[in-house]
Amino acid sequence: MTTDVASTSNGAPAQAPGVFTPEGAIGKLVRVQAFQILLVLVVIFLIFSALAPTIFPQWSNLRLIIQNMSILAILGIGMTFVIVTSGIDLSIGSVLVFSGVVSAMAMRAVGGDGLPTAGLGILVAVGCGLAWGILNGVLVAKAKVPPLIVTLGTLGGALGLSQVLTGGVDIRDVPSILSDNIGYGNVPGTTLPLISLIAFVFLVAFGIILHRTRFGLYTFAVGSNEEAVRRVGVKVDRHLILVYSISGGLAGVAGILSLSQYGTTAIAGQSQTNLNVIAAVVIGGTSLFGGVGTIFGTVVGLFIPAVLQNGFVIVGVQPFWQQVAVGFVLIIAVYIDQRRRLAAARGTGVKRRFSLGNLVTRRK
């Protein structure tokens, strides 16, 4: 920083160094948690590459990692939006299952293996996800029920209804056009999984929305100081409903992708999904207290558990250690966030809604 002398009332202050100067930008980058965590990821990557140079860093293995991450990445987008508003969405795993179930039932009802059936399945899945998301959003924004409780409720509701609809028995017939192309297919002419390309397109699109548009700005603003945003006339309730709808809608997308990839509705298979996604988002530097976060960080936050899991298997460590390692990374990430918030909080006196953040802060 340049030396600063309080400018006189008539003299314009000298050109201020801001984010757009190189030092400002780099200084900021180093401070951003997503970048620190990227370094951690690189180190983990290098260690595994050194331990298993013939297997780990090969494209065939990396391809497996990104293929397995793709569905979680779609869910992570919605979760990032929600957590940036200082909310939480515990229901995504159940909404994924519900969307898959209803979609599978609809496709089974119309029959056929072709594009029209698949198209219907996609629409139904996304529609179901949106419906749950809107319900979450309305309850959070209008009924003022804390997001933790709302989405805990819809977590149970969506899973329970899935079991009611199927009698608890997974549906296993999925149109082959979905399983062949989206599930295990590659982008034509490459060895890149199509499902990963789909996830990438969603990541870029929603990354642009979050970081470059008015909608994204309001998402940060609502998480930063909801009252201030209301006072300037932004429709905060509507915005929250839209954010939870995005999360629900993307869970619907994840539902059809999961159906395509695994060929089953996997009703019991998503009980940890919400927590895994939340952990990744938080590891990636998105603050549970709202107002801070990046889609890029979430991607990095997803890579860490995925790479650890894959690497441990390859080097012959029991994969259970992955959970231990991820647990520690998560706690360290939140610890860093806490430190940063306390340093930045210089008495802004911002009142906040009840959120998971309040549950995990230790305050007297």
Partner 1 sequence: MSTGDVPVLQALGISRSFGHVRALDNVDFEVYPGEVVALIGDNGAGKSTLVKALSGSLALDSGKILYAGGEVTLSTPAQASALGIETVYQDLALAPHLNPVQNMFLGREVPKPGLQGKLGFLDNKAMRDRSRLAFDDLGATVRGLGDPVGSMSGGQRQAIAIARAVNWAKGVVFLDEPTAALGVVQTKNVLETIRRVRDKGVGVVFISHSMPHVMEVSDRIQVLRLGRSVAAYKASNTSMEELVGAMTGAIGGDK
Residues lying near partner 1 in the complex (CB under 8 A) are found at 1, 4, 6-10, 12-13, 16-20, 24, 28, 209, 212-215, 217, 220-221, 223-225, 227-234, 290-292, 344-350
Q: How far is the CB of 171 from partner 1 (least distance, A)?
A: 39
Q: How far is the CB of 19 from partner 1 (least distance, A)?
A: 3
- Decide whether 16 or 204 has the Cβ nearer to partner 1: 16
- Decide whether 143 or 232 has the Cβ nearer to partner 1: 232
- Distance, in Å, from the CA atom of 284 to the CA atom of 295, rounded to the nearest integer, reads 8
Q: Which amino acid is it at 37?
A: I
- Distance, in Å, from the CA atom of 40 to the CA atom of 37, rounded to the nearest integer, reads 5
Characterize 299-328 residue by residue with b for buried, 16 or more Cβ atoms within 10 angstroms of its Cβ, and e for exposed.
bbbbbbbbbbbbbbeeeeeeeeebeebbee
Q: How far is the CB of 255 from partner 1 (least distance, A)?
A: 27
- Distance, in Å, from the CA atom of 326 to the CA atom of 101, rounded to the nearest integer, reads 30
Q: How far is the CB of 331 from partner 1 (least distance, A)?
A: 23
| Partners of 186 in the β-ladder | 193
- Decide whether 10 or 60 has the Cβ nearer to partner 1: 10
- With beta carbons less than 8 A apart as the criterion, state whether 253 and 75 touch: no
- Decide whether 169 or 232 has the Cβ nearer to partner 1: 232
Q: Give the residue carrying structure tokens 């009802």.
A: 109
Torsion of the alpha carbons at 50, 56, 57 and 61, rounded to the nearest 10: 180
Q: How far is the CB of 211 from partner 1 (least distance, A)?
A: 11
- Distance, in Å, from the CA atom of 19 to the CA atom of 12, rounded to the nearest integer, reads 20
Q: How far is the CB of 134 from partner 1 (least distance, A)?
A: 20
Q: How far is the CB of 356 from partner 1 (least distance, A)?
A: 17
- Distance, in Å, from the CA atom of 166 to the CA atom of 266, rounded to the nearest integer, reads 11
- Decide whether 188 or 349 has the Cβ nearer to partner 1: 349
What sign has the CA pseudo-torsion 162, 278, 84, 288? positive
Characterize 118-156 residue by residue with b for buried, 16 or more Cβ atoms within 10 angstroms of its Cβ, and e for exposed.
bebbbebbbebbbbbbbbbbbbbbeeebbbbebbebbbe
- Decide whether 172 or 212 has the Cβ nearer to partner 1: 212
- Decide whether 24 or 185 has the Cβ nearer to partner 1: 24
- Decide whether 17 or 160 has the Cβ nearer to partner 1: 17
Q: How far is the CB of 29 from partner 1 (least distance, A)?
A: 12
